Structure 1
Amino acid sequence: MKDVALLEIQKYQEANAERWAPRLRPGAPSGNLPLLLRMDRDSPDGLLFKDQDFSSDLLKQLNGLRQNGVLTDVSICVGAWEVPCHRSVLASSSPYFRAMFCSNFRESHEAKVQLKGINPEALDQMVLYVYTGEAHITAQNVLPLLEAASMLQYPKLFEACSSYLQGQLAPSNCLGMIRLSEILSCESLKKKAKQMALTYFPEVAASADLKELCALELRDYLGDDGLCGEEEKVFEALMVWVKHDLQARRRYMQELFKLVRLQYIHPAFFHHFIANDALLQSSPSCQTILETAKRQMFSLYGTTSVADLHPPLHAPPRTSYQDFLILLGGRKDNQQTTRDVLIYSGQTRQWQSLTKLPIRLYKAAAVALHRSIYVLGGMVVGTGKSVPSHNVYIFSLKLNQWSPVQPMLVARYSHRSIAHKNYIFSIGGIGEGQEVLGSMERYDSVCNIWESMASMPVGVLHPAVAVKDQRLYLFGGEDIMQNPVRLIQVYHISRNTWFKMETRMIKNVCAPAVVLGERIVIVGGYTRRILAYDPQSNKFAKCADMKDRRMHHGAAVMGDKLYVTGGRRLTTNCTIEDSAAFDCYDPQTDSWTSQGQLPHRLFDHACLSVQCIPHACP
C-alpha cells in the first residue's frame, strides 16, 4: 500500500516539475524534486485529518442563514405560524421530511407546507433542535414536543422527552403516564411508569387516576403478579373503583373480584369486611366465590376438595412477596435471656433488628400466622421472681410493634406452639407448680378466644412438632427426669383425639421439626442426624447429617430449603459451646451449605419464616 502511494506522489511531482523548478536549489539537476517532498518508503501511511468542530460550525452557519432568511426554500407552517427552513436540512434530519421532499408528493415543490396536530411552540423547538442539536424541554412543552418528535420521526428527541417525563414520575401520575405512553408508543416511559405503579401500589390506589381507569386497564393492573400490595388493599382499591360509577361498573364486579387472591387475605379482614359485603352479596357469582373461600379459610376439617375450589383460590402469591426469617428471644453470648428480634432477608442476605420483645421471656413459644408473629407464654425473668406466663403478644411486621392479645388459659413455658389454618395450638410445657403439663389449648385468631382441647397421651418437654394433613405430630422430647421419650404422638385435629406410636427411630430432645415438601424433617437434637418422616407410609429416611451435634437451635423453611440457626453444639471433647452458625439444607442435592454467621451466638430462640412485601416490613 505504501509503494502504491509513493508512485502516485512521484507521478504528480513529475507532472508539476516545471511549476516547482524555481524552488530547486541552485546547481541542482532540474529533474531533482524538492527536499521537502522526498519520502522514505518506510514512512507511515498518510494522515487522516478530522476537524472536530466542522459539523457544529456548519450547523451554526446554517442556523444563521435560516434566522436571516438566506437560501431558505420552504416554510413549515402550523396554521398561521410559519418557520422558514432549508428543504435539504430537513430532509437530512428526518425520514418523515425525506419522504416528503424527496418523493413525488406535492409538498416537495411547495413553498409552504402545512403540518397538522403540532403545537407552534413545539415546532419552534423542533426546528431549533434540527439546526443546533439542542432542545429546551420543560414541563410546559414536553408533551407537545413528545408528540411532535413522534410524528416527525426524531427518535433521540423523543427519548429525551421520555427521559424527562420519567424523571417527573410519581405515584399520583404514573397511571396517566402509562396511558400516555401507550397512545404515543413510548415503551421506555411505559416500562418505568408501570414499574412505579406496581411498586407503589398503596399510594397509587389512593390517587384519583385509579378511579378513572377503564375495566380492562384495572384488570391488567390488579391482576399483575408483580403488584406490591397486600390483598386487603387490592380488595379496597377494587371496591373504590366500582363504587365510583356503580351503575356502569357493577357488571364488571365478578370478573374483577376474581383478581383478589382471597387465600392471602387475613381471615379477620375477610370475616369482618368482605364476607358480608352487601355489594358482593348482591351478585350470585360473587357469592359463590365467597362461600368457597369461607369453607377453605374457616373449616378445620378439610371438607373442601380440590375439585370444589374456585380457580382464584389456586392463584400463587404475588412475586412481590419475599421470604424472611425471624429470630426472637433466646439466650445470647453472655447466656442472658434477650428481648432481641432479628429479621433476615433471603433477597439481600442481610440481618436487621426489629422492635424488641415487650418483656424478657425464657423458653416462650412463637408462631407465624397471617404475616404476624405470636409469642406465647414463657418464663418471665428479670422481675425479682421468675414465674410462668400465660400472656400472648402479637407483632405486626407492617407497624413494627407489639400488642397484647387474649392470654392463654394456662401459664406455661418450655412448651410447644404451632399454627394451623386460623388457629394456634399450645401444647404441654412446665406449669406454675413446675409440673410437666400434658394439656393443650387452641387459640382462634379471628375471634380472639382460647379453648381447652384433648390432652396428649404422655406429657413431654421439648418435642419436635409439626402439622401435616390435618394431623399434629409430636416427635420424642424428654420426661421430667430429662430422659428421651421414644414416641410419636399424633393429634387428629378435626376429631380432637390423640394416639401414640412407639418407635426406636426417635431419640430427639430440644430439636425443631419442619414440613419440607411432603415430609416432616426432624433436625438434630443432641445429634447430627436429620430424619425425614413420611406420614403416608409411616416411614423414616435419613438425610445428610449436620456438621455438628446440635440442640436448642432454630429451624425454618424458606422457599424449598431448610435453614438452621444457632443453638448449642457438642464438641469432639464433649464440651458444649454456644453457636452462631447459620446453615442451609437443600433437599434436592441432600447437602448442607453455610450461610455465614448470625449477628451473635444464640440458643433457645424461636426461628420462623414469613412471606411479606418488603415495603410492608420495617
Structure 2
Amino acid sequence: MESAAEGIEGRSCLLLRYASQNSLDESSQKQVQNNGSREKPPYRNALHTNKAFETMNIMRKQNLLCDVKLIADGIEVNAHKMVLAACSPYFHAMFISFEESKQDRIVLKGMDSNALTLLIDYVYSCEIYVTEENVQMLLPAANLLQLTDVRDACCDFLQCQLHPTNCLGIRAFADLHSCLDLLATAENYIELHFAEIVECEEFLTLSHEQVLGLISSDKLMVSNEEKVRIELVEPFTTRGVKFTSVLHSV
C-alpha cells in the first residue's frame, strides 16, 4: 500500500512537471510573438547558385538533358534552353515568343563559332578570358546575344589597349558596334596624342573626309602645329591626294 509520504511526493512531481510545461508553453508563445514582430532573415546558401550552375555545366558537356543545339560555322554547341533564356535576353525572346522555341537546332548566322563556344561557356561558368586574339570576334557576338556584361568587359579591355598605333582602329570598331563609352574614350585619346598618331601607319589608312573630321576638333593637343602640318601633307601627297582643304583646317 502506498504511504502518505509517497503520495504527497508523487503529487508534487506532477505539479512541478505541469508548472514546467506551462512555463515552456508561455515561453514559446512569447518567442512566437517576438518572431512575429521582428522576423529573422531566411537561411541563404551563398554557394547554392554556383553549385547548381557547375552541375548544369557538367551536364551540358555530357549532353545530359540538353534540349537545343546552337550551330555556327557548322560547329554544334549543346545547351539547355532554360539556362540560355535566363541569362540572355536574345535567347529569352527566341525561346519564349519565336518559332525557334519549338526547334532543337538553331543556326546562328554570322556568328563566329569560337565566340559562340566562349560565350556559352560563360553563360554556365560566369568566366571568360578576353584577349587581343579574341576581343574583335567576342564583342560583336556578345552584342548579338545581348550579353552586355561581356560586351562591357571587351570595351574595358580595349580601353586599356589604346595606343597611338591602334586608337584609330579602336575608335572605328567602337563606332561600328555602338560602344559609346569606348568611342568617347578613344576620341579623347586621339585628341591628346594626335601628334604621335599622325606618325603611325594606321593614320595612312584614313580617307580625306576622316582626316578632316579629326583635325577640325579644337581639342587637339599639339605642341608644334607646323610639325603636324608637314606630317599631314607628306603621306597623302604620295597618294596623290590634294590637301588644300586639310591645310586650311590645321
Cα root mean square deviation, aligned = 2.4
Deviations 1:495-547 (A, max 9, x none): xxxxxxxxxxxxxxxxxxxxxxxxxxxxxxxxxxxxxxxxxxxxxxxxxxxxx
Indicate yes or no: 2:95 matched with 1:101: yes
Indicate yes or no: 2:75 matched with 1:81: yes
CA 1:36–1:55 in structure 2 vs 1: closer, same or farther (change >3 Å)?
A: farther
Structure 2 match to 1:134: 127
Q: Shift of the alpha carbon at 1:214?
A: 1.5
Alignment of 1:183-222 (within 5 A): 183-222=176-215
CA 1:227–1:29 in structure 2 vs 1: closer, same or farther (change >3 Å)?
A: closer
1:145 maps to amino acid: L
Q: Shift of the alpha carbon at 1:84?
A: 0.6
Structure 1 match to 2:118: 125
Structure 1 match to 2:230: 236
Structure 1 match to 2:170: 177
Structure showing the higher helix proportion among its residues: 2
TM-score scaled to structure 2, two decimals? 0.84
Q: Shift of the alpha carbon at 1:28?
A: 7.9
Distance, in Å, in 1 between the alignment partners of 2:63 and 2:138 is 24
Specify the structure having the higher radius of gyration (Cα): 1
1:83 maps to amino acid: V
Q: Shift of the alpha carbon at 1:34?
A: 5.4
SS class of match (1:84): strand
8 Å Cα contact 2:70-2:76 kept in structure 1: yes
Deviations 1:360-402 (A, max 9, x none): xxxxxxxxxxxxxxxxxxxxxxxxxxxxxxxxxxxxxxxxxxx
Structure 1 match to 2:30: 39
Indicate yes or no: 2:224 matched with 1:224: no
Structure 1 match to 2:7: none
SS class of match (2:78): strand
CA 1:101–1:42 in structure 2 vs 1: closer, same or farther (change >3 Å)?
A: closer
Structure 1 match to 2:8: none
Distance, in Å, in 1 between the alignment partners of 2:116 and 2:138 is 8
Structure 1 match to 2:140: 147
CA 1:234–1:113 in structure 2 vs 1: closer, same or farther (change >3 Å)?
A: same
Q: Shift of the alpha carbon at 1:192?
A: 2.0
Deviation above 4 Å: which 4+ runs of structure 1? 25-36
Alignment of 1:480-491 (within 5 A): none
Alignment of 1:345-364 (within 5 A): none
Which stretches in structure 2 are left out of the alignment for 5+ residues?
1-15
Structure 2 match to 1:350: none
Structure 2 match to 1:55: 49
CA 1:112–1:226 in structure 2 vs 1: closer, same or farther (change >3 Å)?
A: same
2:59 maps to amino acid: L
Distance, in Å, in 2 between the alignment partners of 1:26 and 1:259 is 101
Distance, in Å, in 1 between the alignment partners of 2:19 and 2:65 is 54
State the aligned residue count.
Answer: 231
Indicate yes or no: 2:156 matched with 1:163: yes
Distance, in Å, in 2 between the alignment partners of 1:194 and 1:139 is 20
8 Å Cα contact 1:211-1:240 kept in structure 2: no
CA 1:111–1:42 in structure 2 vs 1: closer, same or farther (change >3 Å)?
A: closer
1:99 maps to amino acid: A
Q: Shift of the alpha carbon at 1:65?
A: 1.8
Indicate yes or no: 2:105 matched with 1:112: yes
In the alignment, which of 217, 230, 255 is matched to residue 245 of structure 2? 255
8 Å Cα contact 1:222-1:234 kept in structure 2: no
Deviations 1:92-132 (A, max 9, x none): 111111111111x2211111101122221111110111111
Distance, in Å, in 1 between the alignment partners of 2:179 and 2:235 is 27
Q: Shift of the alpha carbon at 1:257?
A: 2.2
Q: Shift of the alpha carbon at 1:149?
A: 0.7
Q: Shift of the alpha carbon at 1:144?
A: 0.7
Distance, in Å, in 1 between the alignment partners of 2:166 and 2:20 is 85
1:180 maps to amino acid: F
TM-score scaled to structure 1, two decimals? 0.35
Distance, in Å, in 2 between the alignment partners of 1:71 and 1:39 is 49
SS class of match (1:240): helix
Q: Shift of the alpha carbon at 1:235?
A: 1.2
Alignment of 1:506-525 (within 5 A): none
Q: Shift of the alpha carbon at 1:36?
A: 7.4
Deviations 1:557-604 (A, max 9, x none): xxxxxxxxxxxxxxxxxxxxxxxxxxxxxxxxxxxxxxxxxxxxxxxx
Structure showing the higher strand proportion among its residues: 1
SS class of match (2:230): helix
CA 1:37–1:82 in structure 2 vs 1: closer, same or farther (change >3 Å)?
A: farther
Deviations 1:446-476 (A, max 9, x none): xxxxxxxxxxxxxxxxxxxxxxxxxxxxxxx
User: What is the percent sequence identity of the aligned residues?
Assistant: 29
SS class of match (2:164): coil
Distance, in Å, in 1 between the alignment partners of 2:93 and 2:238 is 48
2:136 maps to amino acid: L
1:240 maps to amino acid: E
Larger RCO (CA within 8 A; separation ≥ 6): 2
SS class of match (2:30): coil
Distance, in Å, in 2 between the alignment partners of 1:118 and 1:79 is 7
SS class of match (1:76): strand
Which stretches in structure 1 are left out of the alignment for 5+ residues?
1-24, 261-618
CA 1:39–1:66 in structure 2 vs 1: closer, same or farther (change >3 Å)?
A: farther
